[in-house]
Each structure stands twice: as C-alpha cells, then as structure tokens.
Amino acid sequence: MHYFFLKNEELKAGLTFQLREEDINHAVRVLRLKPGETVALADGIGTVFSGTVSSVEDRAVKVLLREKLDPAESRLKITLVQGLVKGEKNDLIVRQAVELGVSRIQPLYMERSVPHRNKKQEEKRLLRWRAITRSAAAQCRRSLLPVVKEAITLEAYLEQTENLFLLVPWEGEKSVSLNKLQVKPSFLKGAVSVLIGPEGGFGDKEIEILDKAGAVFIHLGPRILRSETAAIVAIALLQSAWGDLA
C-alpha cells in the first residue's frame, strides 16, 4: 500500500482529500496509481487512514478515506541532537533515525564539526534532510512526520531546552551504560534527547558545558563507534529500554 503525507488537513473517514502537489508526479508517472487502488494518507501529527483512489489526473489525485489505521509510533519521544558530520553521512543518519522512530532531529555545529556553509547551502541541505525525512517516514508507515530543525550551536541548543533529560554517549564515560538507566527517571515524562558527537568526538570545553547543564553521560560499549553508527545504536537502545522495540 502506497503511503502519502498531507499538510494541515484534519483527516476523517468518508471525506475526499487531494495529494500534495509535490507527490502528484510520483503518484501518476512513477507509481501509476489507478482509481480503485488502496493507499494510506497520514496527517504528519499522529493520524493515518487507508483510502481508495477516486480519481487520477495529471495535476490532481484524489483519495476517499475509508478506515483509521493504528499509528506506528513509539510512546517514547526521542530527539536526536546530532553533531554535524561530513557529506552524505548526515543524510544516512537522518534516514535511519526516522526509521527508528525519532520525533525530532536537531543538527549541531560543534567544535569538531565540518565548517559552516553559506546560507544558501544550509537552506538547500535542510530541504534535502526534510525530503529524506518524508520519504523515510512514508516507507516505514509512520503517522508522525519528524521535525528537522536548522543547525545551531551547542550553547544555543542548551539555552532553549532547559530542564531537559539529555543523554550523551561519550568514550570518556567508562562505568555507566544505558542498562543502568533502565529504570525510567521520574522526570523523563516520555521524552528524552540523545546528543551524538561529530567525527573526532567532543572537545574538552563541550564536555564541561554539557556536564554543567546536567547531561547524563553513558557509554555504548568498549569500542569507539563512528558518529553515524553511534546515533543509530543509541536510538535503538533507547527504544528497546523505554520505547516500542522492547
């Protein structure tokens, strides 16, 4: 069953909705949808319906909603705070994080991140990440479309997220693993952020800043993992401990 997201629509059974303009070409020329086919429409904020294609035109594909479906969402709201890495590795991290059920992705400029790009390049990269997010969320049948934010500095992130439960996998932490945090902290309230360092890891000043901010440092085992590997391992462990992979 092909899967599509709508925007700013209140989905209800028995109503007809039109696919977003940017999905029409793919639906008509690639998927070759025909009237009578079953598809799924999600609103991106937690609701998804199955429906029947009622009409197909070059500039409009309409779907009659039939039945509400169970959302494939975790009860745990995970924010991935990711130190920027080189090139297409960021794309891979975004895609796999979405598949594993994150709710939000916040890229960070860090001491050992790749250099800042110009504004036009940054805007283009953000649009690509959001397109990857939409594609990955549809592929794994999510009803929630994760939010991908603009890249900011570590200091800016901590200033806007006070009283946050922030986990930081760090090779300097040798004794505390996620297993020792399996008892959900009383202040977790169903939400957790995990901060992954860039290639080259954290700088000393960054560790000091995170420590003062109350971050919880953990280790992910005895081996040093690449940034893109650490991100996926950490999310999978969190979903297994507190989310929907248990």
Say which CATH number the domain at 59 has. 2.40.240.20
> For 127-149, how does the pLDDT look when each residue is reduced to its tens digit (9 = 90+)?
999 999 999 999 999 999 999 99
Final residue before a domain boundary, out of 12, 43, 68: 68
Strands 16-18 and 48-57: unpaired
Is a pLDDT exceeding 80 seen at residue 240? Answer: yes
Residues 134 and 63 in one domain: no
Query: Considering only 92-101, 149-158, 170-179, 183-192, which range has the smallest mean pLDDT?
Result: 183-192
Q: How many CA atoms lie within 13 A of 222 on its CB side?
A: 0
Angle in degrees, CA 37, 43, 48, rounded to 5: 55
Residue 202 token pair: 């954290």
pTM for the model: 0.90
Residue 27, token pair as written in the block: 């639906």
- Shared domain for 231 and 123, answered yes or no, is yes
Point out the domain boundary residue: 49, 68, 87. Answer: 68
How high does pLDDT run on average in the chain?
90
pLDDT of residue 115: 67
201 plus 117 within the same structural domain: yes
Considering the domain architecture, whether residues 61 and 91 belong to the same structural domain is answered as: no
Domain co-membership, 43 together with 85:
no
Half-sphere exposure of 74 (CA within 13 A, CB side): 28
CATH code at position 98: 3.40.1280.10
Query: How many structural domains are present in the chain?
Result: 2
Domain boundary among 68, 90, 116: 68
Question: Containing H/E element for 37?
Answer: none
> Residue 175 — pLDDT band, cuts 50, 70, 90?
confident
Q: Is the pLDDT of residue 59 over 90?
A: no
- What is the average pLDDT across 212-225? 91
Quote the domain boundaries for residue 36. 2-68
Query: Does 117 score more than 80 pLDDT?
Result: no
